[in-house]
Chain A
Amino acid sequence: MYRILVKENLAPCIKEFLISFPEIARKAQPGQFVVVRIDEKGERVPLTIADYDRDKGTISIVVQQAGKTTYQIGELNSGDILFDIIGPLGIPTHMKKRGTVVCVGGGVGIPPIYPVARGFKEIGNRVISIIGAHNRELVIWEEKIASVTDELYVTTDDGSYGRKGFVSDELQRLIKGGRELDLVFVVGPTLMMRAVCEVTRPHKLRTVVSLNPIMVDATGMCGACRVSVGGRTKFVCVDGPDFDGHQVDFDQLLSRQRIYLQEEKKALERYNSVHKHGGLK
């Protein structure tokens, strides 16, 4: 049982939670995640640790209300309790001084790049961040990202804010402009991560992606999260979540992420019919 200290509505359907859990806050590293369970009947949902404060003993998670469980988490408020939080899980992002590092975050994948950008900057890298979303109101954590970034670029799909286009277009522009880039780190929807990898592949620009497959135990016990990387099966929960994006079989990942689409729809409809929120479309 873990208390939500502060809830913040970042955008429609995107909520940030500051949670007290000193033991995780003390140990968390950039790139790691927690597993959250909403109640006794809840599923185990992996969520990236978006920030942590070792002194205050808090961690932050950012949730986009997409399915039944994330919808339900999003309905919690300051003072409420999260039933289970398990972590920190996964291997931390490998931090090294490389020169110029580009951190790319899309949608609800923007907050997770914050600790990574901060980490790269702290050890002396020049950090460029590219963040993007559908439209202006979905661009979140811009100031936080800016505070750990030397250069920040913002894109929106509809052009309502920043440059119109995708984060991958912005990265393409930087590369075409002749910028010396040493590493790209990407978090976001799988299709977006694949697009970024396709931009960097011809330039042999090292690209690390943080994958988000379906997980159950998230400790390497079940293999639900397996994905082919360089032709070998990896468990994202314990071998990742970070992988060389040029080696990842994104088609397989996309397919495996859709295994329970029907069930997810059914669960959300059932939830919405019980709770007359109007719900999600």
Chain B
Amino acid sequence: MKIAPKKVEMPRQKPEVRVTNFDEVALGYSEKEAQQEARRCLQCKKAPCTRACPVEVDIAGFIARIIEKDYPGAIRKIKEKNLLPAMCGRVCPQEELCEKACTLSKKYEPIAIGRLERFAADWELRRGNPGTSHLSLSTGKCVAVIGSGPASLSCAGDLARLGHKVTIFEALHRPGGVLVYGIPEFRLPKAIVEKEVEYIRSLGVEVKTGYVIGKIYAIDELFSQGYQAIFLGIGAGLPKFMDIPGENLNGVYSANEFLTRTNLMKAYLFPEYDTPIKIGRRVAVIGGGNVAMDASRTALRLGARQVYNIYRRSRQEMPARVEEVQNAQDEGVQFKFLTDPTRIIGNREGWVTGIECIRMELGEPDESGRRRPIPVKGSEFTIGVDIVVMAIGAGANPLLSSATPDLKLNEWGYIVVDETSGKTSKEGVWAGGDIVSGAATVISAMASGRNSAMAIHQYLMQGSRSIDFS
């Protein structure tokens, strides 16, 4: 059989239409499209894709079931390893992982694994009745999971399937962590997050929102309440600023604030929703990662006429996914590469009026392997803007760690753990996701949550027979 060299295209909203709404951009495969794409799979015995997947989904296995139109079987296969497939199908960087390893990619475009995963997950969600997966007998052990982002949800789900009683404590009023406050609706609809959290709940996990651990309870108080192990999946929730003049002017947002107002608080629906956001005519978003792309595209949808993405290196060095950069460009984001802000300019009333930048050139590669940007002397220039969004990364939020003095941190405030198990310096406490690694991907956070779940399970069941799950 001749193999089609290219992936089956996924229908998407047209750029000129989608910038006027917050609806999902990528619309997902129809059954016919999924069938057509699935049949491109070579079903390699060695399954390099599975080995490249941080949570080791049996990719050929689920694709084979799609081909057989056994969709319940396909989603069951995925959920053996990945409890949040509708999210991962949407936001996982497949091009860096499974699809990069795909045998087809040597000659053609790889199999669209992410799109097929999404198809199977959405098929199940549309039926409104996610099958419950196999649960072990109750062990009578209690685990507290702090935070409810991808690391925590994956850890909680696995522990619940192993028969432990799990309680998630989430600081915000809605579960999902970065999936609800950070990633925009148009990339990951909140209804999808809700359904996947609902699935984790259906496994027996209790979710308590509005509980700021470190404030209402210290870690040691959770132990004295009867929790026998604790997982910290609290994310890297500390916004970074550049430390340049003018950053506290009105109209300067951290990406966290800009996105939280829009996504979690639904400021784009103000005044129907209470939380407002300032919508500039001209917006500068600083940074070259996925969050910067999210913020730029959000600014367009909020009604900005001009959105400038300012990045100190060139397009090749951008940490954002190629697909997201392309999306932003198609929607009209204007890129200012090799440009670095030096100060933010304001008027007498304290509002932003512009941003002064300096041109950069690329020198020798630095520790990250990317060419180091060097300022070009005397090349300062000003761009007139009303809003500036700082999307230059996040740091470790110290709220919980400062209330837990016996938790060992590294010099940047991230939690120090044993690499394979996620075990921290504190007895009975594990950690995973961005609070360990610094800002990374949803799937790597999920993998670390799973590793900790296995380690916690062993710790809790010492002396008793361990139960194999899947």
Contacts and interface: CB of A to CB of B under 8 A. Distances in A.
B248 A228 contact: yes
Given A84-B173, A84-B210, A220-B238, A270 B215 contact: no
B266 A220 contact: no
A220 B399 contact: yes
A53 to B, nearest CB: 17
A221 B237 contact: yes
Interface in B234-253: 237-239, 241, 247-248, 250-251
Contacts of A258: 250
Highest count of chain A CB atoms <10 Å: which of B181, B257, B265: B257
Interface stretch (A7-15, A117-125, A183-191, A260-268): A260-268
A41 B273 contact: yes
Contact of B260 (A68, A222, A255): A222
B256 interface: yes
Interface in A2-46: 23-24, 27, 37-38, 41-44
B142 to A, nearest CB: 17
Given A221-B238, A221-B239, A263 B271 contact: yes
A154 interface: no
Given A44-B265, A85-B210, A256-B248, A223 B173 contact: no
B248 A226 contact: yes
Interface in B386-412: 397-399
B257 A27 contact: no
A219 interface: yes
Nearest to B394: A221
A241 B379 CA distance: 41
Highest count of chain B CB atoms <10 Å: which of A88, A89, A263, A270: A263
Contacts of A69: 274
A27 B216 contact: yes
B256 A255 contact: no
Contact of B350 (A44, A222, A255): A255
User: What is the size category of the interface that chain A forms with chain B?
Assistant: 35 or more
Interface string A238-271: 1000000000000110011011100110110010
B273 A252 contact: no
Contacts, number: 110
A162 to B, nearest CB: 35
B320 interface: no
Given A86-B212, A233-B241, A267 B248 contact: no
A86 B210 contact: yes
B405 to A, nearest CB: 15
A219 B173 CA distance: 12
Contacts of A68: 274
Given A41-B272, A84-B173, A216-B257, A233 B247 contact: yes
Contact of A223 (B256, B270, B349): B256
B439 interface: no
Contacts of A198: none
Interface residues of B, dominant DSSP: loop
A251 B397 CA distance: 28
B90 interface: no
B275 A43 contact: yes
Contacts of B269: 41
Given A37-B173, A256-B250, A89 B276 contact: no
A219 B266 contact: no
A222 B256 contact: yes
A15 B254 CA distance: 34
Nearest to A264: B276
A88 B171 CA distance: 11
A89 B248 contact: no
A112 B181 CA distance: 31
A117 to B, nearest CB: 23
Contacts of B397: 219-221
B259 to A, nearest CB: 9
A1 B271 CA distance: 23
Interface in B84-142: none
Interface in B14-54: none
B238 A87 contact: no
Given A23-B216, A221-B238, A43 B171 contact: no
A267 B250 contact: no
B278 interface: yes
Contacts of B181: 217, 221
A24 B216 contact: yes
A87 B212 CA distance: 7
Given A84-B210, A89-B215, A219 B271 contact: no
A251 B348 CA distance: 11
Contact of B254 (A43, A219, A222, A267): A222
24 contacts: A37-B173, A42-B274, A44-B265, A69-B274, A86-B173, A86-B210, A87-B215, A88-B215, A216-B260, A216-B275, A217-B171, A217-B181, A219-B397, A219-B399, A221-B181, A221-B237, A221-B260, A222-B260, A255-B350, A259-B250, A263-B270, A267-B274, A267-B276, A270-B271
4 closest Cβ pairs, A-B complex: A263-B276, A255-B350, A43-B274, A222-B257
Given A43-B273, A43-B275, A224-B257, 14 more contacts: A24-B216, A41-B273, A43-B274, A86-B210, A88-B216, A89-B215, A216-B275, A217-B172, A219-B397, A221-B237, A222-B257, A223-B241, A251-B350, A260-B276
